Amino acid sequence: MRKFTMAAISAAILSGCASAPQEPPVTSYSYESKVHSGTVQVTDKHYSTEAIACGARWREGEVYTPKGIIPMGHDHLNISIELTAVGQDDKTISLNVPQDLGSRVLAKDFQIVRSYMLGTQTNGLVQQGELFTYPEGYYVRISEPAVKGWDFTSCIGIDHMYVLESDLQSSTNPPVYLDRVVVPFAMDHSGQPVKVSFGNKLQHTAEIKVQPTK
């Protein structure tokens, strides 16, 4: 694989424009979770672009596990993802991606386990209810980093799992929402971030860009 250099990336950022993926259809389905509470309502959005094709099952590839001291510098690039969602705090995720990642998947879990006692009833000093738990937050996958001309390309997958506060207040088995998006990322000469949107009950936007590590 061709190595990135500071000079090459700096030159790429000086001219041109970002490669924006085409707006795709959305797939929706649901499943009963076996690892946490609730029925999961999934929306899965796959963008496409001529710069890179991400296989249908690339997210299921071998997970990258770093061994020993992780080399830095020009062997890595920094991918920055700025995430916003209606009614949620903005979040910026920064990941160092090894150039030799290949088809392996760099996976980062930013989820926090949430637990609630729903439908509670008090009998004397004893409070009873239905325990409801799920992992809330973002899960990010990156694979297939490459240089094509002046372009940096990669397959990027973003998952966001959440439960609506109104559902927690009204049900002992609220739906769990999992909003997913696959971005065939291609940043060309300008270095302008690639912007995508996704979501079901919460509308998300993601701005993705790459820069050389220092």
- Could you write out the three-class secondary structure of 16-83? CCCCCCECCCEEEEEEECCCCCCEEEEEEEECEECCECCCCCHHHCCECCCCCCCCCHHHEEEEEEEE
Average pLDDT of the residues in 152-167: 94
Residue 1 forms part of a structural domain: no
Q: How large a percentage of the chain has pLDDT more than 90?
A: 55
Q: Is residue 137 part of a domain?
A: yes
pLDDT at res. 155? 96
**Which tops the pLDDT comparison, 199 or 5?**
199
Tell me the longest C-alpha to C-alpha distance in the chain: 71
**Consecutive H or E run containing 8:** helix 6-13
Angle at 20 between CA 64 and CA 193, to 5 degrees: 70
Model pLDDT, residue 125: 52
126-148 vs 91-98, strand pairing mode: unpaired
Residue 30 domain-assigned?
Answer: yes
Q: Does 98 reside within a domain? A: yes
Give tens-digit pLDDT for 42-98: 999 999 988 889 998 999 999 998 775 555 555 778 899 999 988 888 999 999 898
Q: How many domains does one find in the chain?
A: 1
Q: How big is the CA angle at 42 (ends 36 and 48), to the nearest 5 degrees?
A: 135
Residue 100, domain member (yes or no):
yes
Per the structure, the complete domain to which residue 118 belongs is given by 6-212
3-state class (DSSP) for residue 186: strand
Among 105-109, 184-188, 192-196, the range of highest mean pLDDT: 105-109
Start-to-end Cα distance in the chain: 20
Give ∠ CA 28-208-22 in degrees, rounded to 5.
Answer: 50
d(CA 114, CA 40): 15
Please indicate, yes or no, if residue 105 is contained in any of the structural domains.
yes
Strand order through the sheet with 76-85: 91-98, 76-85, 203-212, 194-199
Flag whether 202 is in a domain: yes
Q: Is residue 92 part of a domain?
A: yes
Mean per-residue pLDDT of the chain: 83
Give me the pLDDT at residue 36, please.
95
